[in-house]
Amino acid sequence: MLKRENIMEVAAMSEDELSFEQFKREVLKDYRLAHVSRQMSLLGRREVLTGKAKFGIFGDGKEVAQIALAKQFKNGDWRSGYYRDQTFMLACGMTTPKNFFALLYGETDTALNPDNGGRSFNNHFGTRLIDADGNWRSQMESKNTASDISPTAGQMPRSVGLALASKLYRNNPDLKDQTKFSHNGNEVVFTTIGDGSTSEGHFFETMNAAALLQIPMAVSIWDDGFAISVPTDKQTTKGSISKLLKGFEKGPRDATGIVIYKARGWDYAGLCQMFEEGITRCRKEHVPVLFHIEEMTQQMGHSTSGSHERYKTKERLEWEKEYDCINQMRKWMLETGIAAVEEIEAIEKEALAEVKSARDSAFEDYMGPLKAERDELLQLVASKQCVCSSAHQNLVDDALKQLNNALVLTRKEIMMAARKILRHACSGCSQENGSKASIKAWVMKYSAANNKRYNDRLYDESSKSALKVAPVPPKYAEKPEMIHGRLVLQENFDSLLSRDPRVLIFGEDSGMLGGVNQTLEGMQLKYGEKRVFDTGIRETTIIGKGIGLALRGLRPIAEIQYFDYLLYALQTLSDDVATLHYRTKGGQKVPLIVSTRGHRLEGPWHAGSPLSMVINSIRGIYVCVPRDMTRAAGFYNTLLQGDDPGLVIEPLNGYRLREPQPLNPGEFRIPLGQPEVMREGEDVTLVTYGACVRIGMEAADQLAQIGVSVEVIDVQTLLPFDINQTIVASLQKTGRVVFFDEDVPGGASAYMMQQVVEEQKGFFYLDTPPVTISARDHRPAYGTDGDYFSKPSAEDVYEAIYDLMYDSNPEKFPSIYS
């Protein structure tokens, strides 16, 4: 800790040296801010424990270090942090005490809770990057934070892409006009993480990628000695993450690596000096830096769900009280004469008053609309004009009483009461304008309002939606040349890269090799390593790279080599990409395209089709399952015209099959959610996708030879699914339906059946029960025979459809096996 004679060394915290008086004002302002943040944590915890808020997780003990770090955060910079960064956000001016409490209460008005509109926890922040029309705001006029997520270390992968964007903007002259997103690549990405989370694989994968890429990423590790209840020496080799990462450290002759700094979380002056030095170097040299901040404390425990007294010793608790960073800063100010006791106490009193006022104002704003909604319902019920008896009036009265006596008023309580009243009010009354009709109308209106509060914007609903991209058919010569499917994709990627310098394609073996199936052959040589490039075998950060690049205005296509490799990155896709637009209530978007290949191949690896696992994990991402490479290319073109994230699964057996050569590569667009009728029929509707389409057509050809007319429908995309109800229209004609794919039983075939039979009301047109055809429960066995006996074949499809015809007309179609 510095003495008074040394404090002027710290005063140079900006380009201009500060006088002692200026320095004193800066320190007192910082102390006040630290105290404001601490009181926010203390009062926030009280709001949860008294039932006013649902859950709380706070940044107590991290205040001083975060204030010191925030001094280096500039317009255009990015934060990719975690749920204890409230002080950093306050110090940067990206939140206020009132915003903090709005988050805590779950305020749904984005004017009051711009970070997440009530769709995520407190201390989960996010800059509103998108305007009401779906357009990007200038990121250079604001300080930016990627929308926070709770999964530990989940913030790490996207940091790679956010920082890589700065490097690309600095080094690619074709991007110089993208002034909304960068100023010569000078932006630093501030990544924060708790020490416990550094045990996650996401952390190590990210640090390896950053060290290799040499990108402006500054990682701050807040180390309070515990991961909830587990002490550091039981989770980290050598008991120190900075010691563990020594092998990553960049030496004077090293081309790659990270710069490592260490400091103590209660040392205000030392922290200010360290962060200034480290961030300046990171910004100027584009070298990743890691700040290991030790001896931090967490006075209130992990969250409102438990007590840290259960696992911390008496000695540790006493140490935390003594080395509380605010307490240590207070002692330092007194020792150095920066402030007197009276000044400090006045600051503390003002800080507490400010936080209480913010809390009360936020709660009043939050409760006001709820009270008005409750009173509107009560008034509607009380204004009953008609005279009729109700055998269930006592149940109505009970519902009203429960609503009036609710300990904590919520929209759940209001809606529960309204629905109970609707069940029982004026039972037996059919008067057109009676009380029951009025309550019903109110419930419907309230449901619609709450849908907007809690359920909308899973996908982009603006004019930038991929669903609103106008379709453009492929154009062909009168006698088109038949070329390999891989060449269709290659020509399409060539066109996309030539048209838009924002388009980037990267993945394992995507660069020099041109992809394992050569769909990018020659593209790196033609467009350079800044546009088409290789990555390491690290699927999580391939996706993370895509997230960050997309958030910063670029149009990345991230290639995952095989479909089963996607499982490595499924958590990042599910928790970050898929939820981003929803959890920010349209405040952020991530137009990332993920390209992969899968379906039929011989053996247990690279041959799986776990579509049900994927589509049920990544709602919020469109899932395209093309049957050939022309369809795949068309989906890439469509997705690039919109701003929704999408996954395109190229069929592995299509690269060497020949297709007509389109004359308009990069221009034709296949609409999402619109199936294609491949073959018209009258007897049975066969619904399938991807590599199974060819098998289905083969079976349909064979069935036609015996007089069975099969209508084959390629759904083309699973998310969205048949938005114009093409399949149910076919079902009205045939009365029979078979769903066919190569996922496991109960997988995507069951999903398609539910969509058609239940959602599209196809049940009412069925003459026979629906049938599903799928693979076996296990991974496909090796070899041609293994594939044949593991996954459905044309013979399986033939016999399943034949059995349907046998059930309808056994004389014409006698049983095959009996």
DSSP one-letter code for 142:
S
Beta strands 226-227 and 230-231, pairing class: antiparallel
DSSP state of 804: H
Long-range CB contacts for residues 567-571, cutoff 8 Å, separation at least 24:
567/610, 567/613, 568/539, 568/540, 569/539, 569/540, 569/542, 569/543, 570/613, 570/614, 570/617, 570/618, 571/151, 571/154, 571/540
Q: Is the peptide bond before 675 cis (omega within 30 degrees of 0)?
A: no
For residue 526, give the 3-state DSSP assignment: helix
Q: Is 392 an annotated catalytic residue?
A: no
Cα–Cα distance for residue pair 104/121, rounded to 1 Å: 7
CA neighbours closer than 13 Å in the CB half-sphere of residue 477: 8
How many Å apart are CA 527 and CA 421, to the nearest integer?
66
- Looking at the DSSP bridge assignments, the partners of residue 505 are 532, 557
**Residue closest to 632 by CA, chosen among 518, 741, 488, 503:** 488
Asked whether 509 and 515 are in contact (CB, 8 A), the reply is yes
Determine the 3-state secondary structure of 241 from DSSP. helix
What is the CA 622 to chain-centroid distance, rounded? 13
Give one DSSP letter per residue of 527-552, joined into a string: H-TTTEEE--S-HHHHHHHHHHHHHT
Do the beta carbons of residue 304 and residue 56 sit within 8 Å? yes
Q: Which residues pair with 80 in a beta bridge?
A: 191
Helix/strand/coil for 294: strand
Residue 157 buriedness (CB in 10 A; 0-12 / 13-18 / 19+) = buried
Residues paired with 227 in a beta bridge: 230
Paired sense of beta strands 737-740 and 482-484, if any: unpaired
Distance CA 448, CA 571 (A): 31
**Strands 78-80 and 189-194, bridge-based pairing:** parallel
Task: DSSP letter for 573, please.
Answer: I
Q: Of 750, 737, 723, which Cα lies nearest the Cα of 612?
A: 750
Selection from 611, 652, 604 nearest residue 779 by Cα: 604
Q: How far apart are CA 309 and CA 323, in angstroms?
A: 17
Catalytic residue among 183, 302, 606, 778: 606
In the block, residue with structure tokens 């009729």: 388
CB burial of residue 132 (10 Å; 0-12, 13-18, 19+)? exposed
Backbone dihedral region for residue 444 (phi beyond 0: left; psi -120 to 50: alpha; all else: beta): alpha
Distance CA 469, CA 5 (A): 66
Asked whether the beta carbons of 3 and 335 are under 8 A apart, the reply is: yes
How far, in Å, CA of 168 to CA of 554, rounded? 10
Coil, strand, or helix at residue 412? helix
Annotated catalytic residues are 606
